[in-house]
Every structure is written in structure tokens, then in C-alpha cells.
Amino acid sequence: MNKQKLPGGWKEIELSEVFDFQKKSRIKAGEGLKKGEYKFFTSSDKQTKFIDQYNQYNQDGEYLIFATGGHAGIHYCNEKFSTSTDCFIVKVDKKVLAKYVYYYLFGKIQLLEEGFKGAGLKHISKGYIQDIKLFYPENKETQKAIVSILEKAEKAKEWRKEADNLTQDFLESTFFEMFGNPINNDKNWIKCNLSKYGLLARGKSAHRPQNAKFLYGGKYPFIQTGDVRQSDSIYLKKYTQTYSEEGIKQSKLFYRGTLAITIAANIGETAVLAFDSYFPDSVVGFKVESPLFMSYLLKCYKPLLDSLATNTAQKNINLAILNNLEVIDIPIALQNKFASIVQEVEKLKQHQKRSNQEINNLFNALMQKAFKGELKC
């Protein structure tokens, strides 16, 4: 590998020269709480857990935290916190700002990922981390300026994420404002069976075994429960599997605009088809006048549907449960009014998605320039 040419006033060292590894925690990841007084870091690349106890394994001050089991993750913390067993805690020497090192390594996360070795659950070693090269300006003020620029860019990413959450909250609050809570029917709508809204039809995957290779790999989209669950939009625009000519002979076709509903494993997930597709028997197609409205209505009944599932190895519900589900009966004019709001918000979300990508690209470009000494600070 060619040695990186450094600008004047910059230095290259190994992380071992500035890293002081702290005592490892003995707290298990399962002891983390959804809410608590102190941040609790685990092997995840996102900090989502907390802890209430403060003991010998807690830290107080400015540290870097490395996830060591599974996949790469790095965190910066400058307050009281604790970690699980699958973390390294590092104190950074004062000649380099800890947050500078954090951004430097965050921008090289793939380099950390390559350090995970072993059979089964992979782990990264202290030695691998210590051998990583660090490029930094010796002038502390330059380090601070770089950190300040990247903090502002990161804040823009957080604002964008908050805006995404607000659009979803807006749709949910609009639904409840227009129709109330469908479960307790606080607006006293007439009730009806779900079948009144349209035609429910179960997908089909007749061939056994279902995983026969000759059924797959063709040009026909084949939607599975995971595709519906993982859709990042109310519209289902992506698929991970296709059927061959033989595959479609033993399945069932559903057309664009059909509402897909999962009835096995993850019950009650919904998405509106953006293309014609085939379904297995674990997905139901619902042909209704306003699928966008229906998607939000069924979200409200998801816990109920889950409770009605058969208690087998894989939870599932049958078509009769859906057909006979008692729901609020909303006039089509109001359904369409809500659907038009959803369509406008979906347009906004697509714009935000493009904006997200632009912000991410900017952040990544700034990091690339920052650690080559190309930013004007």
C-alpha cells in the first residue's frame, strides 16, 4: 500500500501510541434497559440501551467505545456510561482530540469491519485496532476546527432524520384526527366486517418442496413476508426473489395497487404493490378502492390480529379471521381524502430521501477531505 502523503504540520502514528484500553466490563448485553439513567453500549453499532446501576464497570468522562462482537461499531461518549462485555473502552492521549479520532475511524468503518475474524460470531482484537494508522494535524486548533465542521454536518443528518419521523407522526395523527381510534371507536362509526371493503385472496405456493430451485430465477416478481415488512415506504417497490415460468404455474398473480398483508410470522404488515407480483400463501392480497387508507386502518388492528394467531411453531392467521374482522366503516369520500394526504406526504418523503442521500454524500466527502488535510480550517 502506498504511504499517504501528509500535508505540512500533520503526523502519522499507530493508534497504539495514543490509545489506553480500559478494564473490560462484565455486564451482559441482556441487562440493558429501554430506559435508564446512564447510556449502555453493546456490540451494536447504535446506542439504544440504558442502565440504572453505577458500579466499578461504569465510566465517567471522554472515551471511545468499540463494538467487538459481530460487526464494527464505534461510539464517542463524554458523560457517565457503561458497556457490555463485547466492547473495548479507550482513553485517548491528550495530544489528539478523542472526537477527532472518532470521526477519523467512523469514516474508515470498513477498515474496522475487516478486523473481525473467527468462526461463528466474529470478533476484533486490541492488536488489530492498535495497528491502525492515524493521520492528524499536530495543531490542536486545526483538530478542533475539523471536529466542528463534522459536528455541524452530523447535526444536519440528525435534523433530516427528525424530519422523516415528523412526517410519519403527521400521517398517524391525521388518521386519528379524521377517524378516531378504530379499536375503541371513539367517533362512533358504524362497524362492518373487513370483507365489506373488498376482495381478500390468499397467495399460492402449491409446489412441495417450496424451495425447489427450478421455481425461481425468472423475470416474474415474487413477494415474500420479509419484503412487505422491510418496505421503507407505504408502496412496495422492491423484491428479493423472482419466479420462473414453472414458478408462476403454481402461484397466484396480484396486480399493481393491491394491498399486500402478511399472515404468517410477522402478522399484519402491509404495503401497496407498485408492480404486478406473485404471492406465496403467507401473504394475502386485498383489492380495495383505497389501499392507502386501508393500510393505515389495518395498522391499528395489527396487535389484535397478532393475538388471534394460532400458537404454533410459526404464528399465522387464516383468511376467515381477516374476512370476519370487525372494523369501522368509513365512507369512500373520507377514505380518498385521507389517501390524497398520504400521496402528498409520500412525495415529500421521496424528496427527503434524496435530501438524505445528498447530506450523507456531503458528510462522507467532508470526512475524506478532512483527514487528508484538504479542508480549509
pLDDT at 272: 98
Question: What separation in angstroms does the CA of 251 have from each of 119, 199, 215, 280, 283?
Answer: 39, 18, 10, 7, 12
The reply to whether 133 and 197 lie within a common domain is no
**CA-CA distance, 112 to 329, in Å (whole number)?**
55
pLDDT at 163: 80
The reply to whether 196 and 314 lie within a common domain is yes
Residue-wise pLDDT tens digits, 4-53: 677 788 999 999 999 999 999 999 999 999 999 999 999 999 999 999 98
The reply to whether 130 and 214 lie within a common domain is no
**CA-CA distance, 341 to 48, in Å (whole number)?**
32
Q: Give, for 102, the enclosing helix (H) or strand (E).
A: helix 98-106
The reply to whether 222 and 324 lie within a common domain is yes
pTM over 0.85: no
**CA-CA distance, 139 to 348, in Å (whole number)?**
44
pLDDT-based confidence at residue 220 (cuts at 50, 70, 90): very high
Is residue 98 within 8 A of residue 64, CB to CB? The reply is yes
**Residue 19 belongs to a domain:** yes
Per the listing, cell 373487513 goes with 194
**Residue 309 belongs to a domain:** yes
Is residue 210 within 8 A of residue 282, CB to CB? The reply is no
* Domains contained in the chain, number: 2
The reply to whether 117 and 244 lie within a common domain is no
The reply to whether 210 and 124 lie within a common domain is no
pLDDT-based confidence at residue 355 (cuts at 50, 70, 90): confident
At what angle are helices 332-370 and 98-106 packed, to 10 degrees? 110
Give me the chain's average pLDDT, please.
92
CATH of the domain at 105: 3.90.220.20
**Residue 372 belongs to a domain:** no
pLDDT at 330: 98
**CA-CA distance, 322 to 259, in Å (whole number)?**
13
**CA-CA distance, 236 to 260, in Å (whole number)?**
9
**Residue 343 belongs to a domain:** no
The reply to whether 79 and 206 lie within a common domain is no
pLDDT at 257 over 80: yes
Radius of gyration of the chain (CA): 26
Is residue 32 within 8 A of residue 42, CB to CB? The reply is yes
Q: Where in the sequence is the domain holding 324, given as residue range(s)?
A: 190-329
Q: Which three cell numbers stand for residue 15?
A: 493508534
Over range 264-271, report the average pLDDT: 93
Handedness of CA 269, 270, 273, 279 (dihedral sign): positive
Over range 291-313, report the average pLDDT: 92
pLDDT at 2 over 70: no
pLDDT at 313: 65
pLDDT at 1: 42
**Residue 163 belongs to a domain:** no
**Residue 266 belongs to a domain:** yes
**Residue 371 belongs to a domain:** no
The last residue of one of the domains, among 137, 155, 182, is 137
**Residue 339 belongs to a domain:** no
The reply to whether 90 and 209 lie within a common domain is no
Q: What is the DSSP letter of 211?
A: T
